[in-house]
Structure 1
Amino acid sequence: MSASRLAAAALLALAGAGAQAQTAAPVIAPNENLVAEGIPAIPASLAEDVRRYTESRSARFFDWHPTRREMLVGTRFGETSQVHEVRLPMGARKQLTFGNERSGGAQWQPTRGDYLIFSRDTGGGEWFQYYRLDAADGKVTLLTDGKSRNSGAHWSRSGDRIAYHSTRRARSDADLWIMDPRNPSTDKLVAQLPGGGWGVADWSPDDRQLVLEEFLSVNEGYLWLVDVATGAKRPLTPRGGEPVSYGDVKFTADGKGLWVTSDHGAEFKHLFHVDLATGAFTDLTPSLRWDVADIDVSKDGSRLAYVTNEAGVSRLHLLDTRTRRELAVPQLPTGLVAGIQFHPDGRDLALTYVGARTPGDVYSIDVTTGDVTRWTESELGGLRSADLQEPKLVTWKSFDGLEISGFLTLPPAKFTGKRPVIIDIHGGPEGQARPLYQGRGNYFINELGVALLEPNVRGSTGYGKTFVALDNGFKREDSYKDIGALLDWIAQQPGLDASRVMVMGGSYGGHMAWALSYLYSDRLRAALPEVGMSNLVTFLERTESYRRDLRRVEYGDERDPKMRSFLERIAPLNHAARIRHPVFVVQGLNDPRVPYTEAEQMVKTIRANGTPVWYLLGKNEGHGFGKKPNADYKFYAIVQFVREYLLK
């Protein structure tokens, strides 16, 4: 071919390539904070298709203003959740904190309300710092050292100090510190506390003592009194005997007793009065067959509000502390009630409500009249709440006859025939699936016709202290078998397609997704483990030191040769060759709980076997994706994955 004809052919080829480039459909690229491996190009049209499901917002209650009927809430207007002020019911949310990182845990100074404190970490690493924000000029001041993990701040009654825990002295210990936030130089170590499970519960009415909770496991804890001036501490609850766990703890108004939630002498967490002089426990809810999950006491001590968790559904209660009789209180629709707090006026009780059709909003109840006031109305991003599906409680028998329950959300009636199923397993494992707003998950239900099943396998909270301990140590595989029995149950349901099942979960739920992938690979279409442990031995060796001993109680001590051998035997990493279905792995680089190495060692091993693996790593994320741009891309990729491997 002549040189001229070669040049002409080259020009034609370039012109054709240019035309193809002009007509090629645009795609969504991962942003600079994401590493995406094995994930195919995502068409930009998908973002428009799912947009309504990515734009919902929520609000959660933080604190009342001490002198005005105003409150602080947490909500997201930009990329991350920030602290906002709401000055009247349904009023505008005025943003107070700004930045690329989430802000949370905001509390007004409790007597004047001229400044507030809030917490923030960096990149999801959970090394939380406290800051002061001055109401007059919005100036923000760092209060803590900028390096350690600081948590659990509680204000003194006089409002001149906060007590909190810090790992500043030793990375593995949560020591007790006290500071006047107006003057950070007053920061003082009050008591050295071994271990990472300590928490400030309350100040005494005279501000001379603190009650602390020492958390060893979901089944075992202890209460201590600390002298604020000297740091001397004395135990309130004895060691030895049957383990007891504690939840919320508040001083009585006279300082002579405590209001406590505990499973002391009971299967579930009840509400108790504890006499500090005698140590006597008085059960105020003796007939209750559910957990008391949350309590608060009015400033004058005359009323106590508490929330029970009844099969995952919250129920609000009000108690006259003098007569110890229940008072009438209105109920919100089926869902979750959390963060209850009395206003200093003693009348208004604030709470956060989350339901299947609302992503989370703030309400208050006038406990003298029963009037309910809505403070926020969060957007659903263009969705109609009436179009969202309500979950229903289902049960099945496991391999040993134990009844297991969960929540099943079916797609709308327009989808006919057997429906594919996503099994979404909660984290913890000391957690619980509850009938809550599904967020982006509503897309799979409403638009793709997928049934969502959220199981509460043994080891979940909410079903008593015996149930929550049934997966500990050498019993770990029994929780895997609960899902095996669920797969059998799915096969028996006329509306569910047992040939199209995907399993997913985050944290411990991610570990379950890994384990089920090797145990039941022939019965699963795909798996999506997020921040999940692939080997409990390497996880325990690498998780942050302040939480390592707490996790050993649950999973077993990998330093014991017999336990180590067992954990290695059941490790998904050591059975990766049995995983033959596609896997989508999601991980945060800065995760202090489940190090990113847990994901990467599994990705490498499965890929070597030739199994399809999609991998998404968030370089500025920790234990889950908290930044909206990252969460949006993750969701687009999950939709692609579900369409490709579950629905086809």
Structure 2
Amino acid sequence: MNLGSLTPLLVSLLSGTPAAATPAQATQKPATAQAPAPSSVPGIAPLPGQPNLLASGVPAIPPELRRRVLQYLESRAATLLDVSQDGKQVLISTRFADTNQLHLVEQPLGARFQLTFTPEPINNAQFLPTDPRVVFFLQDVGGGEFYQVFRLDRRNGRSELLTDGKSRHEQLDISDDGKWLAYGGTGRNGKDTDVYVAPTDNPKQARRLTEAEGSWLPAGFSHDGSKLLVTQFRAADDSDLHVVDVKTGERRQLTPREGKGSVDSAALTPDGRSVYLVTDRYSDFAELYKLDVDKAPPTSPPPSLTKSIRWNVDAIALSPDGKKLAVKTNEDGYSRLYLLDTKSGALSPVEIPQGVMGGLGFPRGRSDVLAYALSSSKSPSDVYLLDLRTKKSTRWTRSEVGGLDTDTFVEPELVRYPSTDGVKVPSFLYMPRGAQGKVPVVVIWHGGPEGQSRPNLSTFIQYVVVELGMAVLVPNVRGSDGYGKAYRAMDDGVKREQSLADIGATLDYIASRPELDASRVGVYGGSYGGYMVLASVAFFPERIRAAVDVVGISSLPTFLQNTQAYRRDLRRAEYGDERDAEVRKVQERISPLNAVERIKAALFVQQGANDPRVPQSEAEQIVKAVRNRGADVWYMLALDEGHGFGKKSNKDTITMATFLFLEKHLGSPSSAASGSSSGSGK
């Protein structure tokens, strides 16, 4: 069972939601006579008791705030990674100490038996199908995302490094017969990602199965292990699917050479003669198709097997006997599950609780049970097993939420509002219960840019709404995934300038709601969402009071020049090529760093020192530029983190500081808006 679906992979490639792990590269810098300063920001210093977390301009966290936030910080979630061949053991990633680690669950709501105890997070792993006492996993160091492949032997609890310790590796896959291990790696030149295969009984003897320019990643073995599906990824809307002979390396392209489209999920039938493919090549939405391997690529569009569903199919899982195909869809942000009878083609919905599904897969030896993960706005991700005979789901994990009463949590309202070019922006609005008068609003921009905000549990949002009494608005502006490829492409390249109108439309919507206080608006976002935060305060300065930029882009040209080499061409496909003079002119015009004199809002910048996607320089150049104008800017830098914060101690302190910042500058819901709406609330 391969739960490493292609959709999370695309998010990883696209500078999307913060990754949980980091780079071995961070530990391999050449020795120097004197180590360089960790930051160029004046006055930055380690926090007491946290030498890896540096701060400048950030006040101490009041003890009463620390006590108030504590329970919200103790929420955990269970990520489904794999199920044993007999369906009796579930492999999950969850956190009981400082980072996510591997755990085993052997019965419904049974004890979570911890398998790994390392300081770095582990969020990607698979059983060896023929022996679940062996687990292969990916892990990095310090948030740098230079993941390495490890082999854990549960009989002695020891893990062995299988890869070179310095290249980046991703997308683990193991053949059903347990003989072959596959993964992507940059070992050849540090820039291109090739597919490697290795015998599981001698996994250090890996060989390159593909050797070509760009990003090539494994997407699933045939049942007998003789063939491997491989994805060639160029952009979210431009991928191809190939099938490769594992022994000879002979490769055949399955998708047409003309045109372009996504490759979101794929699975070979048990006989290896056909492949189920999810792509948006033939429609505005990603739909399910079946291709004949011997006749591929098709010369005309094949019939869609999900034509009746006008939303994206975002993952599939094929039963070992090939008779059932589980189909997961994304319908206005919520997940739905369908079963396809592969013989008749009949597609039938399966009732599951409302929410957002994560991993999806069959045990390799059973076709009567389907494993999945599910979260909602009131509950964290947990693992379920669905009996396909009775259509009943059994819960296998129950993750804690700090002892809080989740009935006090708020479910969002799905709203839409108009922007330019006929766009209607879908958004989730969380309103505090029983609020009197106008309430402040925090707008949260997602990353990606081809990300999507969905209604799963965020204790960050719930704290802001329930404890601070503020509304939270979470837009999916043009360029977001989940609403068709035309909508997703509306911000590509120089069209990003037009997409900034969605910021203004969001602020107009806030002003149109009588219960929302348009004079007290804050913005928060990470990665590309951090760019949107900075764009909000630079290009709509009179309308924003407070801004929290997490690992965000401050200048599009410098970001493209300084991001890791293996990502640069992938990002140019989205943002445009900064080497083109006309493209660069637009990028310079919409870069917040070049409009820093307009920024009036209070600013809080957060960064991981080992970030391979949005480098530390993006954070520090905006901090120094705003401070040069005499403004007060808070800055926090985690030395042992990358694109986001995966260590609980760091995340807790940064989150508490964020709540302090929002409360200081936006005030409580009952307080009158003081000063002009353009002020920073200082």
**Aligned counterpart, 1:427:** 447
Q: Distance in 1 between matches of 2:145 and 2:184?
A: 14
Contact kept? 1:67, 1:113, Cα under 8 Å: no
Letter in 2 for 1:211: L
- Aligned partners of 1:284, 1:491: CA distance in 2, in Å? 44
1:56 aligned residue (71, 75, 80): 75
Aligned partner of 2:397 in structure 1 is 376
CA distance in 2, matches of 1:291, 1:184: 37
Q: How far apart, CA to CA, are the structure 1 residues paired with 2:398 and 2:312?
A: 29
Task: Write the deviation string for residues 515-563 of structure 1: whole angstroms up to 9, x where unpaired.
Answer: 1111111111011110000001000011111111011011000111111
Deviations 1:418-440 (A, max 9, x none): 11000000000101111111113
Is the alpha carbon distance of 1:126 and 1:317 closer, same or farther for their aligned partners in structure 2, counting shifts above 3 Å? same
Question: Aligned ranges for residues 191-590 of structure 1 at < 5 Å?
Answer: 191-195=210-214, 197-241=215-259, 243-279=260-296, 280=298, 281-327=302-348, 329-333=350-354, 335-343=355-363, 344-413=365-434, 415-590=435-610
The residue that corresponds to 2:659 in the other structure is 639
CA distance in 2, matches of 1:68, 1:409: 38
How far did residue 199 of structure 1 move? 1.8
Contact 2:427–2:475 (CA under 8 A) maintained in structure 1: yes
- 3-state SS, counterpart of residue 68 of structure 2: helix
Match of 2:82, SS state, is: strand
Q: Show the counterpart of 1:21.
A: none
The alpha carbon displacement at 1:29 in A equals: 4.0
Shift of 1:328: 5.3
2:500 is paired with a residue of what secondary structure?
helix
Amino acid at match of 1:269: A
- Higher relative CO (Cα under 8 Å, sequence separation at least 6) belongs to 2
Of 562-571 and 272-281, more deviation after overlay is shown by 272-281
In 2, the alpha carbon distance for the partners of 1:105 and 1:638 equals: 29
**Separation of aligned partners in 2, 1:204 and 1:55:** 42
Aligned partner of 1:167: which letter? T
Aligned-residue offset at 1:205: 2.7
Residue identity opposite 1:58 in structure 2: A
Q: Secondary structure at the match of 2:129?
A: coil
Partner of 1:25: none
- Secondary structure of the corresponding residue to residue 468 of structure 1: helix
SS in 1 for 2:144: coil
1:22 maps to none
Cα distance in 2 for partners of 1:68, 1:365 equals 11
- Secondary structure, counterpart of 2:570 in structure 1: helix
Q: 1:594 aligns with which of 600, 614, 617?
A: 614
Query: Hey, what's the Cα distance between the residues in 2 that align with 1:377 and 1:578?
Result: 48
State the distance in 2 between where 1:331 and 1:88 align.
20
C-alpha distance in structure 2 between counterparts of 1:30 and 1:539, whole Å: 33
Q: Given the superposition, is the C-alpha separation of residues 581 and 378 from structure 1 closer, same or farther in structure 2, using an over 3 Å criterion?
A: same
Separation of aligned partners in 1, 2:251 and 2:567? 23
TM-score (norm 1): 0.93
Segments of structure 2 that go 5 or more residues without pairing to the other structure are 1-46, 668-680
Q: Which amino acid aligns with 2:533?
A: A
Is 1:190 equivalent to 2:209 in the alignment?
Answer: yes
TM-score (norm 2): 0.89
* Residues 173-227 of structure 1, C-alpha deviations (whole Å, 9 max, x = no match): 11111112332332222221311x3221111233222111111111111111212
Distance 1:271 1:308 in 2: 11
Structure 1 unmatched ranges of 5 or more: 1-27
CA distance in 2, matches of 1:86, 1:351: 14
Match of 1:611 in 2: 631
Deviation at 1:356, TM superposition (A): 0.4
In structure 2, the residue corresponding to 1:498 is in which secondary structure? strand
Q: Counterpart amino acid of 1:205?
A: H
1:440 is paired with a residue of what secondary structure?
Answer: helix
Q: Percent identity at matched positions?
A: 45
Within a 5 Å distance, the mapping from 1:146-157 to structure 2 comes to 146-157=165-176
For residues 30 and 220 of structure 1, what CA distance do their matches in structure 2 show? 47
Among candidates 126, 133, 138, match of residue 145 of structure 2: 126
Decide whether the 8 Å contact of 2:497 with 2:586 is kept in 1. Answer: no
1:222 maps to a residue whose letter is D
SS in 2 for 1:373: strand
Distance in 2 (alpha carbons) for counterparts of 1:185 and 1:471? 43
**Correspondence 1:40 to 2:72:** no
Cα distance change on mapping 1:185 and 1:637 into 2, 3 Å: closer
Once the 2 structures are TM-superposed, how far is the Cα of residue 30 of structure 1 from its aligned partner?
A: 6.3
Q: What is the RMSD of the two structures over their aligned residues, measured on CA atoms?
A: 1.4
Q: Distance in 2 between matches of 1:256 and 1:646?
A: 60
CA contact (8 A) 1:110 1:159 kept: yes
Distance 1:150 1:401 in 2: 42
Count of aligned positions: 618
**Which has the larger displacement, 67-76 or 404-413?**
67-76
